[in-house]
Amino acid sequence: MQVANGIALSSRACHVAVMDEVKLLRIKLRRLLRSRGRSVDDTDDLIQEAFLRLQLYCREHAVQKPEAFLVRTALNLSADQGRRERQARIQPGALETLELIDPSPAPDVVYEGQKRLQHWMAGINALSPRQREVFLLNRTEGYSFIQIAERLGITLSMVEKHAAKAVLFLTDWMDEA
C-alpha cells in the first residue's frame, strides 16, 4: 500500500494516479511546445526526451518541482533543436557555389545606350533654335503649350507647329541610327 496526498492507495490505484498526472503534464507540455511553433512529431519527441532526462536526473538528485523541471527541460530541448535546424540550413561551402548575378546591364548594352543618347543629343542640337527651345520647355521642364506661348511671346499655334516639327524630326533622326 502506498500513500499519495495523505490517502492510502493500492499499487494499481497509485499507478493510475501517476499516469493521470503524467497525461496532464504531457498535455501541458504539448500545448506549450506547439505554441512555440514545434510540429506534432517534434513535440512528442521533445516531451519524451524531457521525461527521460527527468528520470535520469532523479536517480542521483531530488527534484522538488518535477513539472517545472519538465517545462524548463522541454523548452531548452526545443531551443537546442531550433538552433541545430538553423545551422543545418547553412551549408558549408554554399557561398562558393553560388552564382552571383550583377544587376547592372551588360557592358555592350551600356555602350549601345550611350551611343543612342549621344545620337539623341546630336538630334536635339540639329533642331532649329526655336524648335529646340519649345521641345525642351515642353518635354523636360513640363511647361504646357500655353505657358510656352506666353513665355516666348508667340502664338499657341506657332508653339504647336514647332513642337510637332521637333517631334517628327527627332523620330526620323532616331530611326536613322
Per-position DSSP letters for 97-108, written without gaps between them:
H------SPPHH
Q: From CA 43, how far away is CA 39, in angstroms rounded?
A: 6
Residue 101 within any structural domain of the chain: no
> In terms of residue numbers, what domain contains 114?
107-176
pLDDT reading at 147 higher than 70: yes
Task: Clarify whether residues 18 and 82 are in a common domain.
Answer: yes
Residue 50 within any structural domain of the chain: yes
Q: How confident is the model at residue 1 (pLDDT cuts 50, 70, 90)?
A: very low
Task: Supply the pTM of this predicted model.
Answer: 0.44
Lowest mean pLDDT across 83-87, 90-94, 144-148? 90-94
Most confident of 41-45, 69-73, 111-115: 111-115
CATH number, domain of 148, equals 1.10.10.10
Compute the mean pLDDT over every residue in the chain, rounded to the nearest whole number. 85
Task: Clarify whether residues 126 and 80 are in a common domain.
Answer: no
Q: Cα 33 to the chain's mean position, in Å?
A: 25
Q: Are the CB atoms for 42 and 55 separated by under 8 Å?
A: no
Q: Tell me what pLDDT residue 92 has.
A: 67
Last-in-domain residue among 20, 55, 88: 88
* Close Cβ partners of 66 (under 8 Å, ≥ 6 residues apart): 54
How many structural domains are present in the chain? 2
